[in-house]
């Protein structure tokens, strides 16, 4: 009898748990973002703090030319999805998005993917990783960007292995780049 009662309770709770699995998402277009390219994104707020917002706003954080800039991005609603577009700068290496409701300085609600952030590396026009990409990602994830506006884009990670891995990727990438550059000079 207890097993039967337990099964019925689980069946009644399944729809509740199923709805909790729905998560807010961002889909980037194109999938590989390149410098000096117009990009677009689709934001699905279902399951997040902005699910029932009539007018969420977006702020882009872009690492370009060795500095971070923040730029508001207009959103348009199509069905239940919010879309936005942005022209990437010529020297961009990383873009991050934050969605919020209300005033930027004191928002009523924020969606930063539960602290994980919405971000994407930007490649050069040939589709190759750019020097500074891994370094900017490490700074972004560690919360050491030096730009206070980016503090609510992500919850800083204390995962030293992940940060060290990104820094090692940057270091090995720069070693290859430096060898290639030196071989060109010696020609």
**Residue 103: CB atoms within 10 Å:** 9
In this structure, the dihedral spanned by the alpha carbons of residues 137, 139, 145 and 151, taken in order and rounded to 10 degrees, is 80
The whole-angstrom separation of Cα 105 and Cα 57 is 13
Helix, strand and coil percent figures for the chain, each rounded to 5: 30, 35, 35
Read off the tokens for 42.
Answer: 């689709």
Residue 95 and residue 62 in contact, taking contact as beta carbons nearer than 8 Å: yes
Crossing angle, helix 133-142 and helix 160-185, to 10 degrees?
160
The whole-angstrom separation of Cα 138 and Cα 145 is 9
Instruction: Dump pLDDT digits (tens) for 127-153.
Output: 999 988 999 999 999 998 888 888 889
The whole-angstrom separation of Cα 100 and Cα 45 is 11
Look at residues 108, 47, 119 and name the one whose alpha carbon lies nearest to residue 80. 47
pTM score, two decimals? 0.81
Collapsing DSSP states into helix, strand and coil, what is residue 112? coil
Read off the tokens for 48.
Answer: 């997040």
156 secondary structure, DSSP code: P
pLDDT the model gives residue 66: 87
pLDDT the model gives residue 155: 92
pLDDT the model gives residue 82: 95
Read off the tokens for 77.
Answer: 């609603």
pLDDT the model gives residue 180: 45
Q: How far is CA 60 from the centre of its chain?
A: 9
pLDDT the model gives residue 184: 41
Mean pLDDT by runs of 10 across the 187 residues of the chain is 48 42 79 96 92 93 93 93 96 96 92 93 94 92 86 90 92 68 42
pLDDT the model gives residue 172: 83
């Amino acid at each position: 009898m207890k097993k039967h009662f337990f099964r019925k309770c689980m069946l009644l709770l399944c729809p509740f748990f199923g709805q909790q699995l729905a998560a807010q998402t961002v889909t980037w277009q194109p999938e590989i973002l390149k410098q000096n390219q117009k990009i677009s994104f689709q934001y699905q707020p279902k399951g997040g703090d902005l699910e029932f917002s009539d007018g969420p706003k977006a702020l882009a954080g872009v690492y370009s030319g060795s500095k971070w800039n923040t730029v508001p991005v207009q959103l348009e609603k199509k069905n239940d999805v919010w879309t936005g577009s942005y022209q990437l700068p010529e020297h961009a290496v990383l873009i991050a998005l934050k969605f919020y409701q209300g005033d930027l300085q004191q928002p009523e609600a924020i969606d930063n993917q539960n602290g994980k952030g919405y971000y994407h590396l930007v490649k050069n026009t040939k589709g190759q990783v750019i020097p500074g990409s891994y370094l900017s990602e490490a700074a972004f994830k560690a919360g050491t960007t030096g730009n206070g506006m980016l503090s609510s884009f992500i919850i800083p990670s204390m995962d030293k292995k992940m940060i060290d891995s990104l820094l090692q990727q940057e270091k090995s990438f720069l070693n290859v780049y430096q060898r290639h550059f030196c071989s060109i000079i010696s020609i």
